[in-house]
Amino acid sequence: MKENLRIIISGGGTGGHIFPAVSIANAIKELQPDTEILFVGAEGRMAMHRVPAAGYPIKGLPVAGFDRKNLLKNIPVLIKLFKSQRLARKIVKDFRPHAAVGVGGYASGPTLKVAGSMGIPTLLQEQNSYAGVTNKLLAKQAKKICVAYEGMERFFDKSKIILTGNPVRQGLLNHSIQREEAISSFGLDPQKKTVLILGGSLGARTINQCLMANLDKVKSSGVQFIWQTGKIYIEEARKAVAQAGELPMLHVTDFISDMATAYSAADLVISRAGAGSISEFCLLQKPVILVPSPNVAEDHQTKNALALVNKNAALYVKDAEAKDLLLDKAIEAVNQPELLKNLSKNIAELAFTDSANVIAKEVIKLAENYQKEHGR
Give the pLDDT confidence score for residue 48 in this predicted structure: 80
pTM: 0.85
Give the pLDDT confidence score for residue 11 in this predicted structure: 86
Flag residues of the chain having pLDDT under 70: 1, 13-16, 64-73, 77, 170, 200-203
Give the pLDDT confidence score for residue 20 in this predicted structure: 87
Task: Indicate the helix (H) or strand (E) that contains 89.
Answer: helix 74-95
Break the chain into its structural domains and give their ranges.
Answer: 6-166+354-374, 179-348
Give the pLDDT confidence score for residue 105 in this predicted structure: 79
- State the fold for domain 6-166+354-374: Rossmann fold (3.40.50)
Beta strand ranges found along the chain (DSSP E): 6-10, 36-42, 58-61, 99-102, 122-126, 144-147, 161-163, 194-198, 224-228, 250-253, 268-271, 288-290, 315-316
Give the pLDDT confidence score for residue 70 in this predicted structure: 63
Give the pLDDT confidence score for residue 353 in this predicted structure: 85
Give the pLDDT confidence score for residue 37 in this predicted structure: 98
Give the pLDDT confidence score for residue 348 in this predicted structure: 95
The separation between the first and the last C-alpha atoms of the chain, rounded to the nearest angstrom, is: 9
Give the pLDDT confidence score for residue 41 in this predicted structure: 87
Pick the CATH number of 179-348 from 3.30.470.20, 3.40.50.720, 3.40.50.2000, 1.10.150.120: 3.40.50.2000
Residue 324 has phi, psi (to 5 degrees) of: -90, -35
Does the fold of domain 179-348 match that of domain 6-166+354-374? yes
Span 270-304, pLDDT tens digits: 999 988 899 999 999 999 999 998 887 778 899 99
